[in-house]
């Protein structure tokens, strides 16, 4: 038997899963969660906490997440930490077997939670090697195949990875946006009381849902905003009929240029209204596209909870959480658009402001609290802008 043929055979009888990349790289391991085959773009996340929030973040739609932190599962799972009701990720990759939970808030083992979410994972691979591969070559397409019998057709799995179209040109926001308009009044969680409820709203904010996270909605409500959430395709005229005091553009997955096909005309009309506007992540990219800037695919993306960002308004550095594979090209920002935040890792655009208009956006996730509260001021800044504009 040749070396090539040997590489297609599991190294021992206990193997139950494999990750195959589009270049033919093979990583053997052990399956957990749902027994199936799943394909997506393989990326890595360096966060040491928050794996459940990551796995339920709609911005990860179409992606397989490689966790660099080895102890995934150590705090279990619970209903309070989910950013959406169902997971949008394609799969997950971890170094060790799922760590047994040890946390007073744990309600369910991660494996059981993955089964409930129809989510497939692979454990036991060298996640550092995979991370180095992504850093060198960019985010590849990959397939996780979980087969308890240990039977795998590696050439077919590689072909499946190669045939998957990838995220370039893919509008995924349309797949994760809400179907119906709804109101949100739940505020942020505290150790003493859990989640709170907004009783005396200061303002009404309409949030355009490209894949919105629950904690963003909680942060908006905590500032005093009663939030009405509308789908990504809701016409500007219908949004304005809701009489908002502020408009929020949410995070979301996929290629911003593809989502912009229908989102840009809507945002441009909303900007004409003069109503204060705030965008996060994909919402940041949508705002930039709407004013004439361009976006581009990144080599490996930014995904983690330790990203330093400079706010040029205060000259302060905040430690932020990020999750994006596309970015706004700062060299294409038109006249009248100011660069407000920048990544101190690679000098990429992390925020913009429109001169003479009450509109701004950031690439990072101020609701994710890695600092832990370095970026919460952005929600307060939005509410101050709303009240000043009233």
List the pLDDT tens digit at each of the 390 positions of the chain: 344 555 678 888 899 999 999 999 999 999 999 999 999 999 999 999 999 999 999 999 999 999 999 999 999 999 999 999 888 999 999 999 999 999 999 999 999 999 999 999 999 999 999 999 999 999 999 999 999 999 999 999 999 999 999 999 999 999 999 999 999 999 999 888 899 999 999 999 999 999 999 999 999 999 999 999 999 999 999 999 999 999 999 999 999 999 999 999 999 999 999 999 999 999 999 999 999 999 999 999 999 999 999 999 999 999 999 999 999 999 999 999 999 999 999 999 999 999 999 999 999 999 987 777 889 999 999 999 999 998
Boundary of a domain, candidates 129, 163, 197: 163
H-type helices in 164-200, by residue range? 173-176
Q: Are residues 248 and 179 in the same domain?
A: yes
pLDDT at 85: 84
Distance CA 390, CA 176 (A): 32
In-domain check, residue 149: yes
Q: Are residues 143 and 196 in the same domain?
A: no
Q: Are residues 158 and 226 in the same domain?
A: no
Enter the tokens of residue 295.
């976006």
The Cα diameter of the chain in Å comes to: 76
Which are the catalytic amino acids?
A: 281, 365, 367
Could you tell me the CA-to-CA distances from 340 to 17, 36, 249, 293 in Å, in that order?
Answer: 45, 45, 17, 15
Tens of pLDDT, residues 53-100: 999 999 999 999 999 999 999 999 999 999 998 889 999 999 999 999
pLDDT at 390: 83
Q: Are residues 119 and 193 in the same domain?
A: no
CB atoms within 10 A of CB 351: 25
- CATH (domain of 25): 3.50.30.20
Q: Are residues 233 and 107 in the same domain?
A: no
H-type helices in the chain, by residue range? 3-7, 51-55, 110-116, 127-137, 154-163, 173-176, 214-222, 236-241, 256-272, 282-290, 377-389
Q: Are residues 183 and 130 in the same domain?
A: no
Q: Are residues 64 and 151 in the same domain?
A: yes
User: Can you give the residue range of the structural domain that contains 200?
Assistant: 173-389
Distance CA 95, CA 91 (A): 14
User: What is the domain count for the chain?
Assistant: 2
In-domain check, residue 53: yes
In-domain check, residue 1: no
Q: Which residues contact 350 (CB under 8 A, 6 or more apart)?
A: 309, 320, 341, 342, 343, 362, 363, 364
In-domain check, residue 154: yes
- CATH (domain of 313): 3.40.50.880
pLDDT at 2: 42
Boundary of a domain, candidates 163, 198, 219: 163
Buried b (16+ CB within 10 A) or exposed e, 216-234: bbbbbbbbbbbbbbbbbeb
Boundary of a domain, candidates 163, 188, 216: 163
Q: Are residues 305 and 382 in the same domain?
A: yes
């Amino acid at each position: 038997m040749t070396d090539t043929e040997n590489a297609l055979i599991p190294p021992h009888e206990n193997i139950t899963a494999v990750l195959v990349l589009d270049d033919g790289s093979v990583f053997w391991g052990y399956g957990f969660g749902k027994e199936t085959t799943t394909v997506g773009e393989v990326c890595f996340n360096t966060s040491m906490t928050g794996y459940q929030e990551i796995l339920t973040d709609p911005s990860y739609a179409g992606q397989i997440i490689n966790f660099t932190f080895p102890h995934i599962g150590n705090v279990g799972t619970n209903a309070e930490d989910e950013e959406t009701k169902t997971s949008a990720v394609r799969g997950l990759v971890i170094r060790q077997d799922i760590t047994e939970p040890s946390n007073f808030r744990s309600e369910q083992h991660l494996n059981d939670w993955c089964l409930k979410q129809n989510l497939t994972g692979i454990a036991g691979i060298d996640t550092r090697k995979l991370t180095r591969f992504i850093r060198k070559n960019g985010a590849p397409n990959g397939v996780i195949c979980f087969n308890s019998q240990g039977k795998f057709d590696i050439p077919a799995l590689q072909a499946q990875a190669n045939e998957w179209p990838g995220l370039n040109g893919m509008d995924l926001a349309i797949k994760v946006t809400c179907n119906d308009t709804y109101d949100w009044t739940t505020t942020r969680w505290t150790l003493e009381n859990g989640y709170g409820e907004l009783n005396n709203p200061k303002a009404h904010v309409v949030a355009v849902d490209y894949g919105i996270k629950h904690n963003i909605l909680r942060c908006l409500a905590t500032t005093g905003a009663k939030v009405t959430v509308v789908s990504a395709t809701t016409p500007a005229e219908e949004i304005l009929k809701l009489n908002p005091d502020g408009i929020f553009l949410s995070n979301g997955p996929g290629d911003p240029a593809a989502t912009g096909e229908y989102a840009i005309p809507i945002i441009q009309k909303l900007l004409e209204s003069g109503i204060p506007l705030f965008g996060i992540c994909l919402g940041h990219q949508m705002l930039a596209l709407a004013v004439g800037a361009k976006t581009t695919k990144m080599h490996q993306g930014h995904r983690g909870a330790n990203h330093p960002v400079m706010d040029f308004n205060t000259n302060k550095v905040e430690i932020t959480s990020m999750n994006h594979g596309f970015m706004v090209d700062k060299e294409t920002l038109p006249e009248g658009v100011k660069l407000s935040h920048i990544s101190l890792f690679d000098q990429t655009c992390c925020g913009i402001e429109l001169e003479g208009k009450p509109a701004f956006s950031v690439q990072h996730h101020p609701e994710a609290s890695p600092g832990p509260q370095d970026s919460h001021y952005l929600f307060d800044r939005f509410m101050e802008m709303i009240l000043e504009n009233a």
